[in-house]
Amino acid sequence: MNQIKRVVCGISGGVDSCISAYKLKHRGFDVVGVFMRNWDLTDETGHCQADKDCEDAAEICRKIGIPFHEVNFVKEYWTHVFTPLLEDYQNGLTPNPDILCNRHVKFSSFFQYAREKHNADAIATGHYARTSFGPFLERSSPEKNCLLFKGVDPLKDQTLFLSQISQEALRCTMFPIGEMHKRVVKTTARQLGSEFKQYAHKKESMGICFIGPRKFSNFMREYCPPQRGRFIDVDTGKVVGQHEGTPRLPATPHPAYILQAALYLLLC
């Protein structure tokens, strides 16, 4: 028998977490909305997107009729996500900060916070994913492991980014919109009335959250010192240019570059 009563739902200020919290409330759970502040530095214009998202999250909770809280995980994010990301880029690797954030922050620090601060029986997020325990843990079992399944929307499936979270957290996590397509989520928000319609039209956050609209190369200059090297023509051995290191270069699938369809360059 499912004894889950209190669910702490991560609220980002977007339509996915909005509808997730609404569905939880509608099913009779004691829902608490929490906004996670993971990055709070301003960009070059002095704008902090986290402040606006926090305001939207608080407004969503007010409209749904659930309590709202804000928790600061900036230190945890810096230690477990941002610092490893910089180290990997400087070593020529391509890290995935979303995987690290889910593993160390959303499904670790947030999970522990929800249980210890709010006495939560479960947590919930607006990820497009499913589990063998069901969207509301209605099929949970202490004798079985919880399996992670793809969301029904193939264009929005986020299971890759959830692939490293612990079994302990997964078996206590609800994904209320995992069985919905994105278009249905937006339609649901519009059908709830004018108060929720704006979230259906809110621009989605894409890319790495702490970079925002800035150029990746400009952002990396703030944190990674130049590692200058040479472009060399592999046929002649002649130095044909200089570079400032792999973090400054556009992302490519191979460590080789082609110039004028004939000149092959190696990074060294």
Helix (H) or strand (E) holding 182: helix 182-191
Task: Please answer whether residues 169 and 133 qualify as being in contact, where contact means their C-beta atoms are separated by less than 8 angstroms.
Answer: no
Q: Label each residue of 88-115 as H, E or C.
A: HHHCCCCCCHHHHHHHHHHHHHHHHHHH
Dihedrals phi, psi of 105, to nearest 5 degrees: -110, -65
Q: Which of 101, 146, 172, 268 is catalytic?
A: 101
Q: Label each residue of 233-259 as H, E or C.
A: ECCCCCEEEEECCHHHCCCCCCCEEEE
Nearest to 182 by CA among 101, 127, 106: 127
d(CA 6, CA 27): 12
Nearest to 114 by CA among 30, 225, 221, 224: 30
Three-state SS at 83? helix
Three-state SS at 137? coil
Q: Is 101 marked active-site?
A: yes
Task: Please answer whether residues 144 and 98 qualify as being in contact, where contact means their C-beta atoms are separated by less than 8 angstroms.
Answer: no
**Helix, strand, coil share of the chain (percent; to 5):** 40, 20, 45
| CA 147-153-159 angle, 5° bins | 35
Q: 258 pairs with which residues across the strands? A: 264
Residues catalogued as catalytic: 101, 209
